[in-house]
Amino acid sequence: MSEFQINAATPADVATILHLIRALADYEKMSDQVVATEQGLHEALFGAQPAAECLIAWEGTRPVGFALFFHNFSTFRGQRGIYLEDLFVEPECRGRGYGRALLQRLAQLAEARNCARLEWSVLDWNTPSIGFYKRLGAKQLQEWQIFRLTGDALHAFAADKR
């Protein structure tokens, strides 16, 4: 692997982050679902009330991966945690340590911020990533199912007067 570094994203990186998000969506066969814009990402990541943070892996001047994350909270532990929303490394750069380095940096941030946990979701068909996470020592939580309200269902439920 060539020299690489992992840096916290800055406002100047918004176009790069959007590029990596689109590459992730392409990999997950979800390109049609990306509606994020540079302006929206700038506000979400660097606005008055940032909703998330982002790390970017660089090989020289080339961005090769990213980890986008935010804080969540464990009521049982009474501590916040870090939720990794997306981790992506360009396919031609996989197996070179970028994903591990991004996750390790997140683990270090979790420790420094006194977080109780670092957690994420993975698509059930993504067996290479599942194997990778297990090799790192991550535990797959079989007993939890993810639920989501979005789009029309979210709007209808929010407007329900019952």
Active-site annotation, residues: 133
| E strand residue ranges, the chain | 4-8, 53-59, 62-74, 79-89, 118-120
Put the strands of the sheet holding 118-120 in their side by side order. Answer: 4-8, 53-59, 62-74, 79-89, 118-120
**Beta-sheet pairing, 53-59 with 62-74:** antiparallel
Q: Is 65 helix (H, G, I), strand (E, B) or coil?
A: strand
Report CA-CA distances (Å) from 116 to 27, 79, 104, 146: 31, 6, 15, 20
